[in-house]
Amino acid sequence: MVHTVFPVGPGDKVLVHAAAGGTGSLICQVANNAGAYVIGTTSTEEKAVKAKACGADEVILYSHQDFVQEVNRITGGTGVNVIYDGVGKETFYKGFQCLKKLGTMVLYGYASGIPESLDPFILSNGNGSHTLSHPKIVDYVATPEELSRRANAVFDWITEGKIKMEDFTTFKLSEAKKAFDLLEGRKTTGKLFLKP
């Protein structure tokens, strides 16, 4: 998402919702390594600490602050180049209010539910001329060669210490419902694993 869906580079401003979650924490690290200024949202102070440790330059506690107002304050009203949204319903439409002109909205998850149907005119409202992406990994990793190239890049980043993969919670397969409930309730950080 950070290198292909929207190629993040130095000076870009990035908003990552659920910045302490499994995917959000990785996006923060990769975007930070690409030279972006990373703004993350989390629900608690504990998760804010995690997001900062993963490369977020600023963290907004969306449970106490309006993330649109805060992003616009942080960016001096210019907004962000890209939003990575794994939350969905609660954040999706509001995000367009802090997206820079020609900015990209990347919707990849639905922790709070699926957003209402999209009115395409929202892409040209406000700052306007936005791009929306709803990426699927099978489209970006369509061949064995592409999978190998992308996987090797991630493993190289881990080996070089550019990204950390330290926050794992393991559940027995029989506890899958408990793991899902924690994800749905946004009570997790890092990655969850189900073990047979």
Per-residue pLDDT tens digits for 141-175: 999 999 999 999 999 999 999 998 766 678 888 88
Model confidence pTM above 0.75: yes
Residue 46 belongs to a domain: yes
**Pair (26, 121) in one structural domain:** yes
**Pair (83, 176) in one structural domain:** no
178 has pLDDT over 90: no
Contact 107, 134 (CB under 8 A): yes
Q: How many residues does the chain have?
A: 196
- Nearest in space to 3 (alpha carbons), one of 39, 29, 21, 22: 29
Q: Tell me the residue range of the domain where 182 lies.
A: 166-195
CA distance 184 to 182: 5
Per-residue pLDDT tens digits for 23-74: 999 999 999 999 999 999 999 999 999 999 999 999 999 989 999 999 999 9
